[in-house]
Copies of this chain bind each other. A is one copy, B any other.
Amino acid sequence: MEIQPIGTIHTAFTEKFGIPRQSMIVKAAKGVIHFEPPYDQAEYFKGIEEFSHLWILWHFSEQKGRPTKATVRPPRLGGNVRVGVFASRSPYRPNQIAMSSVKLDAVHTDESGKVSLEISGVDMLDGTPIFDVKPYIKTDIHEDAKSGFVDAVDWTQLDVEISDELMQQVPEYLRDQLIEVLAQDPRPRTQTDVNRMYGMRFGDFDIHFKVNTGILKVIKITSHGHD
């Protein structure tokens, strides 16, 4: 079956490195979905503001052309235990459709009548094609759910150290997001080199940091492309 994007999401995640590993892990991570005509018209969204959460179906567009694997190594298991692709939410799957539950913050209509949705808890790369928006409903909640290896291992949060001076370089609306994203530990799970300087792109910035014994220290922030 042929499916077509209905819109595109814009986020501060301008590269894969640093993207939260599930939706709603970084509640402050914001996004705005803009829609293609005719799906940008208010009629299509009538009543959506009554829902607090939405499901977004989107394209794992970074995986384009990569083969499906039978097993994957989830970051939550440290990147060295294999589980079946259908026992994971990995992007390496036959149909590259992702699903994220997000919070609906606002429905905007611009002067020409085009609708956009402001959401938070996003885990999508900037520019990701969107296939569908569906309301999150009560029957989606299974409080008794057991979620295998995802239950078994907690994410370890890092303490984030960043000087006021460095923080001044980042626009105010991005600051909470940045700290939450860094606290999630964006490093690949297999890397623990305390001397290594990591660089993460965030919005138009490159965030340079080191990690040692549970503390992530931001060393430098530069505009992207200028070191």
Name A residues whose Cβ lies closer than 8 Å to a Cβ of B.
Answer: 1-4, 6, 22-25, 38-39, 41-48, 50-53, 55, 57, 59, 70-71, 82-89, 93-97, 99, 101, 131-151
Further pairs besides A24-B142, A137-B150: 18, Cβ < 8 Å: A1-B59, A1-B96, A2-B2, A3-B97, A4-B94, A41-B70, A43-B71, A44-B70, A46-B83, A50-B146, A51-B146, A52-B142, A52-B144, A52-B147, A57-B99, A86-B135, A141-B141, A141-B143
Known contacts A45-B84, A148-B47; is A95 also within 8 Å of B135 by CB? no
| B46 x A95 contact (CB < 8 A) | no
Contacts of A150 in B (CB 8 A): 135, 137-138
- A138 CA / B145 CA spacing, docked (Å): 7
| B45 x A132 contact (CB < 8 A) | no
| B6 x A53 contact (CB < 8 A) | no
| A140 x B137 contact (CB < 8 A) | no
